[in-house]
Amino acid sequence: MSREERVYADPSMNMENEEYWKATKQGKLILKKCDDCGETHFFPRIICPHCQSSNTSWYEASGKGRIYSYSVVRRAPIPYAIAYVTLDEGVSMLTNLVDCDFDDLAVDKEVEVTFRDTEGGEKLPMFRPV
Amino acid sequence: MTRSCKAYIAGVYEHPTRKATDKTLTQLHAEVAIGALKDAGLTMKDVDGYFCDSTVPGLGGLVMAEYLGLDLSYIDTTETGGSSYLVHVGHAMRAIAEGKCNVALITLAGRPRAEGLTSLPARDTGNDAPERGFELSYGPAVTNLYAMAAMRHMYEFGTTSEQLAWIKVAASHHAQHNEHAMLRDVVTVEDVVNSPLIADPLHRLDCCVISDGGGALVVVSPEIAKTLGDRNVKILGQGEAVKHLNGGKIDLTYTGAVKSGPSAFSEANLKPSDMDYASIYDSFTITVLETIEDLGFCEKGQGGKFVSDGNLISGVGKLPFNTDGGGLCNNHPSNRGGMTKVIEAVRQLRGEAHPAVQVPNCELALAHGTGGQISQRHGSATLILGRNDA
Ligand SMILES: [Zn+2]
């Protein structure tokens, strides 16, 4: 299961999402929810994409979800699995699947969040099978 | 039947080059522009509307207007990736209908091979793009993004790699007759599924080629069309749409064609079963399969069955498609396939496709473009075209 992993580039950040990256650094996955319409959205932003309210607030996600879809890039110098994971909170996010046998992956498989260091010391949320 | 229309495609040109080491980008744009105007029987002096995407260097279309010596009363530089040119045709038609221009020139060119590009990373939208931090570090590439659409379609509808392979097989049957096509060997379903996996579940032969080149279109008013003979093609309907990730509520099993298709058919007062031929953007086999479903050629989820057993092969199946070999076999200039889709549809309606793939009595045709990534954000545009006497 231990496999060489890619060097992960630092994510670009701005005022709308720096809280998210502060949280991942502490091993937490947080999401943005709209206080007016109640919808969670992803990627996080100041203005709700569903009702355009600017009353949006952060909350901690369960970190649980299922694989919506994935693809193993076998011909890359270091093979990796890219995926969309649908979180229990209802939104899907682009991510990588790690700590897994690529041949055992399947759509709808249950996964949980884990974190990987980037080259500049940030942390990226990724997912592994439960 | 004589259908009315607001504008005609009077000229088309596809650059024959597939690797343009000896040509500049602006030279390629100029060569396709000259080619399409010659095909129409017009000159650069007749052009009063110019349409291009970001493959033109510099600010919008300004540099190209100057390079070509154009005197413009209308300009549109809408950028929706490989669907841009089908968007431009619709915008040109409306600008002409409003009397804002009479002869609209649309160009595309690119030289990714000359610049050494061998595979396609996802487009980097730049530091200000709000999604960037949530995507780039995970290694998105054009192949794995389309692969995830294929994987989900397989999960929901039981679509198989063999069914996707039939799309490439059909394209290769057509490409064998195209002297300019990059891949001219006829392939089998087995050849496709036995080619190396690039990004599960897509194999090497599920992917389009990378090529240099370009193309151009000339769209004219009905008054000008009347002076140009009988090779003009009627623009009967056009529709466009943008689909994105919708705040994280995603569904990768369909494309923006679910909106652009009905919009175009409605404007033309026609339906999918009326089409004699279809050019469908084919960055990957899955792009074709989802688009065919979304345009209404078959039920959602039935695309795998629809494309199988040669149903897309001219002279064999019910829906002859991409008779030039498409992006899968012929070319994919600047990684943008919409332009060549329109050009081959025009050839079919003029009866000027290769005799081996020409659809007999081709009267009505569809062309569809997709731009961006179907697993992220993309533009879709659909054109319904008719023969001069349609
Ligand atoms: Zn809201």
d(CA B332, CA B326): 8
CB B256 within 8 A of CB B377: no
Q: SS3 for A20?
A: helix
Of B139, B151, B245, the CB nearest to A73: B139
DSSP type of residue B126: -
d(CA B132, CA B282): 26
pLDDT in tens, B329-382: 999 999 999 999 999 999 999 999 999 999 999 999 999 999 999 999 999 999
What are the b/e assignments for B247-259, b being 16+ CB within 10 Å? bbbbebbbbbbbb
* Chain B residues close to A74, C-beta within 8 Å: 197-200
CB B50 within 8 A of CB B72: yes
pLDDT in tens, B146-190: 999 999 999 999 999 999 999 999 999 999 999 999 999 999 999
d(CA B92, CA B97): 8
CB B106 within 8 A of CB B85: yes
pLDDT level of residue B117 (50, 70, 90 thresholds) = confident
Contacts of B244 (CB under 8 A, 6+ apart): B376, B377, B378
- The residue-averaged pLDDT of B72-83 equals 97
Cβ atoms within 10 Å of B156's Cβ, excluding its own: 15
pLDDT at B170: 98
CB contact under 8 A, A92 and B250: yes
pLDDT at B120: 67
Complex prediction ipTM = 0.97
Interface mutation vs chain A, best among B118, B124, B138, most A CBs within 10 Å: B138
Which residues sit opposite B277 in a β-bridge?
Answer: B365
Residue in the structure block whose two tokens are 């744009």: B29
pLDDT in tens, A5-56: 999 999 999 999 999 999 999 999 999 999 999 999 999 999 999 999 999 9
Of A8, A13, A71, the CB nearest to B144: A71
